[in-house]
Chain A
Amino acid sequence: ITHTHTHTHTHTHTHTHTHFLGQDPYREDNTTAAELYSKVRILCWVMTGPSNLETKARHVQATWARHCNVALFMSSVRDDGFPTVGLDVKEGRDQLYWKTIRAFHYVHQHHLEQADWFLKADDDTFVVLDNLRWLLANHTPEAPVYFGKRFKPFVKQGYMSGGAGYVLSKEALRRFVEGFRTQVCTHTSPVEDLALGLCMEKMGVQAGDSRDTEGRETFHPFPPERHLMENLQRDYYYPTYSFYPILLGAQSCSDLSVSFHYVSPEEMYVLEYMSRHLRPYGYRPRYQPALTVWNRTEPRDG
């Protein structure tokens, strides 16, 4: 099918030219991604607040949150327009664990059957959902496990960085809620990720290994530039926190990275473009893992 159309160029005149209408010249085959979408259902809830809706949460909504099976935005205040869920807490860094507790309880109460895995992210976290599905594909949501960027201090099995995002299996979510019902877990501290990590350990939920088959990290507590370009082995805090050995340069980030943190609104769109749009035509990547990886609900060495 051909048709002609006029279009105005940046200069001050118009002209016509003929071109073939947009059949996708690439012949994209999305069947694997579509299969994973239906088999590995992920509910995403994004921690945000009234003052961040237009400046941050909106751009999450316009980019990666669209690829969740269910996406919820959690705020202190309900906003039907955005829309956000109102958690009836105050805003502020010291309220983060309360928000998290309330958010997971809300999800458990209203959305448990709609998903298999439950992801928490911040409004400055960027997530590649398709890669998260690949990671989770060979795990069962009935196993008590959660994944994220694993930190080592304070909790024996480690805990997951809040900013880099973490994902709970359905069973893990059930145990989190159960922990509060039985008061095994309480609001111990405002440090959300650490407090959640302690609850997980108490409830027998395993801290999973989210690295790819080459041992490269998939969840990242910083934007890509910091991981790729800085020597984080020499950072003051990072070696104390990072559970696994810190790899440098290209090895710091998996091809199938799941998340980055401290991502600006503009960078949300840039990462969406890079991960889902721009690609080198015909290029065979070095890393091409199969869908079925080894069962990693058992701990690996190190």
Chain B
Amino acid sequence: MISESSSFVKGMMLGGLFCVFVTFIGHNKMGHGTKAHHHEHHHIQAPNKEDVSNLSEGERMELSHSIRVYCIILVKPKDLGNWAAVKETWSKHCDKAEFYSSESVKVFDSIVLNTNEMWVMMRKAYKLAYERYQDEYNWFFLAHPTTFAVIENLKYFLLKKDASQPFYIGHTVKSGELEYVDGDGGIVLSIESLKRLSKIFEDPDRCPEQGGLIWKLSEDKQLAVCLKYTGVLAENAEDSEGKDVFNTKSVGSLIKEAMANHPQQVVEGSCSDMAITFNGLAPNHMHVMMYGVYRLRAYGHNFKDALVFLPPAGSDND
């Protein structure tokens, strides 16, 4: 009896070690897109002037309509204030925006996921979004209710990008060998990426729903791991000056930092003119952002933009 149980224990330990080993190996060599050298950054830029030259009004409207963005906002009951603010502000500018909640809430309609775990929420939301909307939208934007997004700037950013290619864009962070999009800044997936993601969801070894890795990763890291298996790599989004357009902090925070770090060039040195997201906003700040982005402006500055977006119906704060 004793020898059997000690074999059993040895077997368990070996098995456990093997698991760790395989996991480490798995992390170090995966995906097609990896190039020769180890340290790598993927940066992706906004279109420039040459891309957006003379189009007729009709062509501009058609082009604008061809970029269709579906917004997923993951919410929990504790986020009610922010949920309301997102509903009343920027999400009105998505082609469609839906709120995916951990549990049902009386005040608002939502797609109820019946789980409190972020990673599981994210999986379920992406799965449902793909199932329902794969033929209707070509870009999928996921955000938390503390994030403010300027969807028009997102569409401009995506202007020349082919959604049938595997794009996974946002504010990236490198964690060891893994580069992932920080969920706080919003996550953009092309339909191709979402398609691949839906497939890998069915692979419980590479992309498990629960406890696949020894140390539990945050949901945005887990997403990156799963996508990497399908050959999809994270890309950091920047404007033509190299400034991030997806921000994990609020305008106020970025300005405060700039006042300390480069006081001679506070605005010019920090935030992009075509910023897409900011994060860490309280509900009131969302409304002020809405006014600041869509309404407050300096008279007499006109722009020849390649896209045309009209204000949404039934709204007065934009």
Contact = CB atoms under 8 A, between A and B. Distances in A.
Interface in B135-170: 150, 152-153, 155-156
Contacts of A25: 46-49, 51-52, 240
Contacts of B84: none
Interface stretch (B26-34, B101-109, B218-226, B295-303): B295-303
Contacts of B64: 282
Contact of A280 (B50, B153, B271, B287): B153
A237 B174 CA distance: 53
B306 A282 contact: yes
B153 A266 contact: no
Interface in B44-73: 45-52, 60, 64
A224 B291 contact: yes
Contacts of B275: 278
Interface stretch (B187-195, B196-204, B249-257): B249-257
Contacts of A23: 48-49, 240
Contacts of B242: 7, 19
B209 interface: no
Contacts of B318: 286
Interface stretch (B1-9, B13-21, B122-130, B308-316): B308-316
Contact of B316 (A9, A250, A281): A250
Contacts of B288: 224-225, 228-229
Interface string A261-277: 00001110111111111
B120 interface: no
A301 interface: no
Contacts of A225: 284-285, 287-288
Nearest to A277: B273
A224 B259 CA distance: 21
B302 A29 contact: yes
Contacts of B258: 269
B292 interface: yes
A35 B309 CA distance: 27
B39 interface: yes
Given A23-B48, A27-B304, A249-B317, A277 B271 contact: yes
Contacts of B111: none
Interface in A111-135: 128-131, 133-134
Contact of A255 (B153, B285, B295): B295
A281 B152 contact: yes
B152 A283 contact: yes
Central interface residue in A28, A63, A279, by most chain B CB within 10 Å: A279
A266 B298 contact: no
Interface residues of A, number: 64
Nearest to A7: B242
A32 B299 contact: yes
A257 interface: yes
A156 interface: no
A7 B311 CA distance: 38
B50 A229 contact: no
Contacts of A279: 273-274, 293, 297, 303
B118 interface: no
B131 interface: no
A3 interface: no
Given A25-B52, A282-B309, A229 B287 contact: yes
B296 A275 contact: yes
A283 B252 CA distance: 24
Contact of B301 (A7, A30, A287): A30
Contact of B152 (A9, A26, A267, A282): A282
Interface in A1-42: 7, 9, 11, 13, 15, 17, 19-20, 22-36
Interface of B: 39-41, 43, 45-52, 60, 64, 93, 150, 152-153, 155-156, 174, 240-242, 251-252, 255-256, 258-259, 266-267, 271-275, 284-285, 287-288, 291-311, 316-318
Interface of A: 7, 9, 11, 13, 15, 17, 19-20, 22-36, 62-63, 128-131, 133-134, 224-225, 228-229, 249-251, 253, 255-257, 265-267, 269-287
List the 4 closest pairs (A to B, CB-CB), nearest first: A33-B300, A274-B292, A282-B307, A32-B300
6 contacts: A30-B301, A251-B316, A278-B273, A280-B150, A281-B156, A282-B156
Given A228-B287, A282-B305, 13 more contacts: A17-B41, A28-B301, A30-B302, A33-B299, A228-B291, A229-B284, A253-B296, A271-B292, A274-B296, A276-B298, A282-B152, A284-B309, A286-B316
